[in-house]
Amino acid sequence: STMNPPPLQIVQTDDLGKALATTQSHVEGTEIFREEALIVFDIDPSATKEDLTPPPWIDKPGSASRQRWMEYCAYQRQSDQRQQEILSLYAGETTNRTNGNISICRDHDAVRMRTFLQEKLVGDLDIEEFIRLAMVIKFNAVGIPPDNYGLFRWGCRMAHSCHPNCVWFSSQHNEKVKIVRSIKPLQEAQILTIDYYGKTFEPIWERQEFFLLSKNFACSCQRCASTQGDDTRRFPCQQHPTCHGVHFCHQPRHSSVPMLLACSNCGHSPSENYQKQMLQAEEKCRRAIDAFDKDAVTKHQIIDVELPHHFHGIAMRVFSAQVGLFEGQGDWKSAAVAQENKLRCFHSIMGDDFKDEDLANDFETMGDLCSYFDLEKAREAYREAVKCHHLTRGEHTYTKGARRKLLEVSRQLETVSFAKRSQAGHSQPA
C-alpha cells in the first residue's frame, strides 16, 4: 500500500505510452514518494509450504508455465480490489509507440500463451485474466531483496531513461517498500524516469537490444536518440594531435553498420581506412577486457591495453580492472590514478552535473585509495561521496558510512596540522 499519497499523475505520451509525472516541481535530492509492494512473488514458491500443486496440463516442473501458475495462485489470494490494482498495470497486447516491433512482440507473447492454454487447459481458468497477469509481471515486475520480486502501484509506471531524473531503491527498514528520489531538478508535470538496465556505459545497440528482448520497446531517451552519435563510443579525431575533437560512432542496432561521424570539433570526416582501424582497436580492447573478466589474460595485458579513447565507454571497465589489480598489489597511487581516470570518463559521458549511486561509490573508492598517501585529496573525494550518497539515498547507511570516513580523515588532517604548528613553534628562537 502507498505510505503517503504521492503528488503524481498518470499521463499519456506519444513515445512512452502511459507514464508517471509529477504534479509539482522538486529540487534534486527530494524523496518523491515511497510505497509498499502491491504483491510479492517468491522465486522459489515451494518455500511458502503451501499447496500450490500445478494443474495436470503443466507437465514440466521447471518450465516458465509452472512459474506463471504459481504467480496466478498468489494473485488469486489477493482481495478483489488488490487484483484490480494489479491488472490496472496491464498495457494491452499492442501499443501506440513508434517502434513497430513492439506491437509484434507483445502480440506474439500473448498469442503464444493463449494458444498453449487453449490446447492444454483442463478445468476452469479465466484464460484472459491469466494472460493479462502474465504480461503485467513480464513487463513490470522488479526485484525485491533478498530473493523475491513484485509489483508496485506507482513505481512500475515510471518510464525508462539512460540519463534518468530519479532513482528507485528498497528501504533499509522494509525491503517490500521502494523509495523514489529525484537526482535532477523536476518541473511540474515532468515525466519521472529511472534506469531499467543499469549498464550506463554499454553502447546504444546493446542497451536497445536488452530493452527490445526483455521489455519490448526501443529507448528514445536523449542519449539513445541523439543525432550526434553514441556517447559511449568515441575515437580521436583523425587530425589528432592537431585537433582534440572526437569521432562518435553511429550504430543504433547491432545489425546496423557502424559509422564514425565527422569530428565534433573540426568537422573532419574520417577516411574508410581510419574508421576500420579504430573499430578494430575497439574490438581488440573489448576482447581483452572480456578475457580479463574470465581470467583468460594476465594482469599486465589489461594494464597495458590500448584504449580506443580515454573517454570511451569500454574504458570504464578497463579502469575498474586496473584499480582492482593495483589495489591488490598495494600500489595505492597507481590505483588512484586509474580511479581518477574512471571518474573523468564518467563525467565526460554522463556530464558534470549528473550524479548517481555509482558515482557516489566511485568517489568513496577514490577517498579510500588516497587515504593511504594524500589525506587532502581523500577528504575532497569523501566530501563528493557524501554529497552523492545523500542526493541519491538521503540519510542512508551509505551516506553515514562515507561521512564517518570524511570525519576520520579530517581528524587526521587536523592532527597533522597541529603537529606541524607545534613543531614550527618549537623551532622559533627564544
Please state whether 330 falls in left (phi above 0), alpha (psi between -120 and 50) or beta: left
Q: Which H or E run contains 18?
A: strand 17-22
Instruction: Tell me the CA distances in angstroms from 282 to 317, 321, 342, 423, one per residue in order.
Output: 13, 17, 17, 55
Q: What integer is the mean pLDDT of 367-392?
A: 98
Number of C-beta neighbours around residue 62 at 10 A: 6
Angle between helix 332-350 and helix 357-370 axes, rounded to 10 deg: 160
Give the per-residue pLDDT at 400: 97
CA distance 76 to 70: 10
Number of C-beta neighbours around residue 108 at 10 A: 12
Whether the CB-CB separation of 127 and 113 falls below 8 Å is answered with: no
pLDDT at 100 over 50: no
Instruction: Tell me the CA distances in angstroms from 299 to 215, 321, 326, 366, 372, one per residue in order.
Output: 37, 9, 9, 21, 23
Give the per-residue pLDDT at 294: 82
**pTM of structure:** 0.88
Tens of pLDDT, residues 405-419 = 999 999 999 999 888
Number of C-beta neighbours around residue 218 at 10 A: 21
CA distance 254 to 246: 22
Give the per-residue pLDDT at 61: 47
